[in-house]
Chain A
Amino acid sequence: MSQTGQIDTPARSVISMQEEKEKQKKQDMQDDSIKSIIIVGGGTAGWMTAAALSNLLTHTNITLIESDRIGTVGVGEATLPHLRYFIKRLGIDEQEFMRATNATYKTGIEFVNWGKVGDAYIHPFGDFGEPIKGIDFHHYYVKLRQNGHINPIGDYSLPVVASKAQKFDYPDTDERSILSTFSYAFHMDAGLFAKYLREYSTQRGVTRQEGIVTQVKQHQDSGFIQSVTLEDGTQLSADFFVDCSGFKGLLIEDCLNTGYDDWRHWLPCDRAIAIPCQANTPPLPYTRATAREAGWQWRIPLQNRVGNGHIYSSPYMDDNTALDILLKNLDGEPTAEPNFLRFTTGKRKKVWNKNCVAIGLSAGFLEPLESTSIHLIQLGIMKLLDFFPNKHCEAVRVDEYNRMMQLEFERLRDFLVLHYHATQRDDSDFWKYVRTMQLPQGLAHKIDLFKERGRVVQYTEGLFLKASWLAVYFGQGIIPKHYDWQLDALPIEQIKRRLDEVKSQVSLASAQMPMHAESLAKHCDLETGWQTPPPPANLSLYGC
């Protein structure tokens, strides 16, 4: 009784005619299509972009210009689980990648001295308990606290408990298993990663051009970028340009004058000193971020060494003091000279302008506190491929790309600002400032809502979701006044029993996991690695 008519399958002859037509149309389309791309910059951003584009745009000419004389920032060593998805999409074997970059596993970040001196908590790649009867786990936890049973919320999170015990294993793919409740990422040598991707990209047809760009030419009418000129006079033109030139933004800023939003009043750190040192203990499966008087220090364990750095705010601390603090707090002997870096936290007003997209530090820089930079590079690349333009770069496409990246940057920013603001520290001018500074619009409301009702402002797109906000809130002493009212119907003994069960499940599961060093050795060994393949990669921070 269908009103819907049926289509007969078109006969072959019809199809071939249609394919002809289609070819014709494709040709028409091709006049508009982008045939050549120039990437300026060969840091992590440049080579990640080159690798992804060369993998997918097989008919496009891709050239990457970099200069050995300028060098890269390349300190990005702590990553997020999303990177697994990226390398998977490139068809790269994860264990091979780990061998190539001296990588170790990362299941979270430990924050020391943030809420107050002496505090420590882990922000894990995983959730805290599961909702019970449709009510979020942390409400039960709050009710328990209010009844005098105070223990860290991390006790209910497998990646927290396992990390602390220096355990690591691949998460289970069976969603019902508690062993599936976390994701993992890597600590890696970013320099080796870029080198690896350079190899990968050039094998796939990317032309690497050594040289320093000295001049950028625009089309007279449209202002689109036409070509770049190198020191030796070589002129290279393309339909589309990706600016991966680092902080300075050679194309997006020097040429297109796009503008930059300075966020230092919210994220006042603007200096860094990086220095690697010897590893004297087995690598920990997490990053450590220790708050200092005017910033914080990172500790990132690799297979062969430990990466360290001190991030600080120049109005509150001078370089020598910062270096002193860093050198006093190393696990082992330094293995290189300190590397001094300067930056301005903030974001390019538009990351896509005309026929140029900025990816990497040229697009903006937040703060390495939550290892978000490489993730932002990845997102920039993935969205560029999603919205890949033709030569015209129509406004609607560019607008959407810019809107999404803006949203992502702002949400990350707010989450980072929370770390500084949610503190009782008043032991230095720096902490007094961040503790009392005016917050970005909306963040104050987020915090108030949590304090008041235990609700985390939710969004669906964005990197850090509920579990991450909970980790920082509870970890830095923001505790809700009240739990969900529905829990008034449940006796406290029942809640305690339930939560104790979760806690013991977590510690049992952790106890059964192998040590991080053991898993690392097994997975990175050519002989044994292939016997235990990594689980499928996805874009979740919190397990499957």
Chain B
Amino acid sequence: MDVDVHMQQKPIEPLSHTQPSNTPLNTIVVVGCGLYAWTVAACLARRLYKTPTKVMVVEELNAPVDNLGESTLPAIDYFHRVLGLTERQLMAVTKGTYKLATEYVLPDSTLAAETSQSNVFYHAMSPYGSVIDNIAFQHHLTKAKRAGVPIDLNRFSLPAAAAGKGKFGLPQAGAQNLPFSYAIHVDAKRYAAGMKDFAKKLGATSVVGEISAVKTVNIGSENDKQCTHIQSICLDNTQHISADLFIDCTAHSRLIDQALQVGFVDYSDYLPCDNSIQYVTDNKPKPKATTQINPNQAGFNLNFPLQAQTVNEYHYSSAHQTQEEALASLDLDSAALETVIFRQQKSQRVASFWVGNCVAMGDAAGSLGRIAASNFHLVQSAVLRLIDLLPDRSLNEHVECPSRDEYNNLCEEEYARVLDYHCAYFALLAREKAPIDSPFWRAQTQAKCPESLMHKMKLFEQTGRFPFYERETFSEKTWLSLFLGLGLWPKEYDRLLDVGQQNLQDSLDAFEQLAGLIDQISDKMPAHYHFLQQFCGAK
């Protein structure tokens, strides 16, 4: 009797139960705390809203301190739109400011000969100049430069010019089709709190605790690290948390390295700054919409404004300065001293970004330093990529996982390109001689840089062209202005410039016309700070 009843019931079973290999993940656990972890959780919660997959955050107790703030890249606007967040709201909540350009302060030796007037290059993330007579601006510039005309790049970009004047306006202000782009600076704590709030509203849950153990299981051959999966993590020796997929957003790669032992690819030969001192100071009266980068004794200073204060970071190499020496060299007043935090971070990345069922993002995935403002960007890019390639529950049953392979390929290519960008700063600044006379910077004149960057610089110098690399985070236009702005000029320009009727004076006239227009428009923009007061709740 029983058997018959059972058999009758069988066909009623929903189909999906018989196909366990193609079912969505039950739970994704994000481990870590602070800005990166909550951003990842918020993005997952948003994109997987109303799907069967649940998002949970394990907030690590006693985690190392976060950065004080984040300087971002223009792509953050896309990210926020994906999340459905409006920028104005965000600026108010995070006490943020705008970023029109990276302000490279250059020692005279680098630029003096180049621009002959200015030791500041405002690097905006939109193209400089405009096409003149169907020939790209760079060729006109190069031709003029070869003829000995002094060139100040800053005049040929609206955001760069506006940044120099301490102004900010919205894109509409960039009428006349002048390229314009911007990013933002945010207070890390406030931004993290905002993301946490947002993630929770979308159903993400969280627990707090100290990770006391991580239980792993090997689903394939013993020697293959890719086959080690995390079964559960244990909090405070009591609570076990299991999930289908773990995202390691901890500061010290608690899962991916400490538990799964993936190891790192070391970049300290290329990028020697491994320590930072961060502190806040009062804002100058009119904070510019820029992140400023300035070479210093054993590294560089980086600072950017928030609405109420300025975040300062000194990144240095511990091979050249001890923490005491570094701190002393900053000569801080007592107010600033009270805010000081210390962070250690070698330049490296995990050997594999996704192992088994664990994906590392943010600091857990490694760091290339702060010059390119890329760390946070790489987190955004990583979480979107993961959602794109999200596996099903068979992840923990099969050794093979094409999504994981693809994810790792893409991340590796992406990191390689971003690494080049970071290295370019040191390579260009110390190209001819040390920008400041210190052992650190003297060492940079001899320092190694990646093959791919060498090729890029050489090719550019010879031909004015860029090699084609896949998966560039920074567009060719951005590379171009970086090279020119930091003093690397090509030997050649487009030969069409000599073929047509164009003479040099025509190019120079076009330069002046463009610079004049940019000057006018940027003059009319409100001061950065007034803009913040008016629209973003700054006091």
Contacts and interface: CB of A to CB of B under 8 A. Distances in A.
B286 interface: yes
Given A21-B148, A486-B48, A396 B462 contact: yes
Contacts of A21: 147-148
B373 interface: no
Interface stretch (A40-48, A318-326, A446-454): A446-454
Contacts of A396: 455, 458-459, 462-463
A3 B154 CA distance: 10
A178 to B, nearest CB: 25
A12 to B, nearest CB: 8
B263 interface: no
Of the listed residues A6, A7, A453, A460, the one surrounded by the most CB atoms of chain B closer than 10 A to its CB is A7
A464 B190 CA distance: 45
A340 interface: no
B512 interface: yes
Contact of B51 (A2, A18, A486): A486
Contacts of A399: 455
B197 interface: no
Contacts of A57: 495
6 contacts: A5-B117, A6-B155, A25-B147, A56-B499, A403-B468, A489-B48
Contacts of B164: 1-4
B499 A9 contact: no
Nearest to B457: A396
Interface residues of B, number: 61
Interface in B281-329: 286
A400 B503 CA distance: 31
Interface string B462-477: 1101011010000000
Contacts of B22: 481-482
A6 B117 contact: yes
A21 B146 CA distance: 9
B118 interface: yes
A386 interface: yes
A22 B497 CA distance: 13
B64 interface: no
A10 B286 contact: no
Given A396-B455, A400-B455, A400-B459, A7 B389 contact: no
Nearest to A447: B402
B201 interface: no
Given A4-B122, A18-B149, 18 more contacts: A2-B164, A3-B120, A5-B152, A7-B151, A15-B504, A22-B143, A25-B146, A56-B496, A57-B495, A58-B499, A387-B465, A388-B495, A445-B405, A445-B406, A449-B406, A453-B403, A481-B22, A486-B387
A403 B468 CA distance: 9
A453 B462 contact: no
A455 B508 contact: no
A6 B152 contact: yes
Contacts of B217: none
A488 B24 contact: yes
A397 interface: yes
Contacts of A91: none
A386 B467 CA distance: 11
B118 A453 contact: no
A455 B25 CA distance: 18
Given A25-B146, A56-B499, A486-B48, A4 B406 contact: no
Contacts of A482: 22, 392
Interface of A: 1-7, 9-10, 12, 15, 18-19, 21-22, 25-26, 56-59, 134, 386-388, 394, 396-397, 399-400, 403-404, 407, 445, 448-449, 451-453, 455, 457, 459-461, 481-482, 484-486, 488-489
B147 A485 contact: no
Of the listed residues A3, A25, A386, the one surrounded by the most CB atoms of chain B closer than 10 A to its CB is A3
A9 B462 contact: no
B390 interface: yes
Contact of B463 (A19, A59, A397, A481): A397
The 6 closest A-B pairs by CB, nearest first: A5-B117, A489-B50, A448-B402, A2-B164, A449-B402, A488-B51
Contacts of B392: 482, 485
A329 B83 CA distance: 57
A498 B234 CA distance: 46
A1 B51 contact: no
A313 to B, nearest CB: 30
A486 B504 CA distance: 56
Nearest to A15: B505
A399 B154 CA distance: 33
B483 to A, nearest CB: 15
B47 interface: yes
B391 interface: yes
Nearest to B503: A19
A485 B390 contact: yes
B48 A22 contact: no
B432 interface: no
A394 B496 CA distance: 21
B389 A134 contact: no
Contacts of A12: 505
Given A19-B147, A19-B504, A459-B470, A2 B499 contact: no
Interface in B41-78: 47-53
B82 interface: yes
Contacts of B143: 22
Nearest to A9: B512
B406 to A, nearest CB: 5
Nearest to A22: B147
A120 B149 CA distance: 63
B140 to A, nearest CB: 13
Nearest to B461: A396
A9 B513 CA distance: 11
Given A3-B118, A5-B117, A453-B402, A460 B470 contact: yes
A511 to B, nearest CB: 36
A489 B389 CA distance: 17
A540 B513 CA distance: 33
Given A403-B467, A486-B47, A489-B49, A22 B499 contact: no
A404 B459 CA distance: 13
Contacts of A134: 82
A18 B147 contact: yes
B166 interface: yes
A59 B500 CA distance: 11
A451 B120 CA distance: 52
A7 B156 CA distance: 12
A25 B25 CA distance: 66
A455 B504 contact: no
A245 B53 CA distance: 60
Given A4-B122, A19-B147, A481-B22, A407 B406 contact: no
Contact of B152 (A7, A19, A58, A459): A7
Nearest to A482: B22
A481 B405 CA distance: 17
A399 B468 CA distance: 12
Of the listed residues B147, B150, B505, the one surrounded by the most CB atoms of chain A closer than 10 A to its CB is B147
A397 B503 CA distance: 27
B165 interface: yes
Given A400-B459, A486-B47, A4 B148 contact: no
A115 B417 CA distance: 39
A481 B119 CA distance: 58
B390 to A, nearest CB: 5
B495 to A, nearest CB: 7
B488 to A, nearest CB: 14
A372 B518 CA distance: 45
Contacts of A486: 47-48, 51, 387
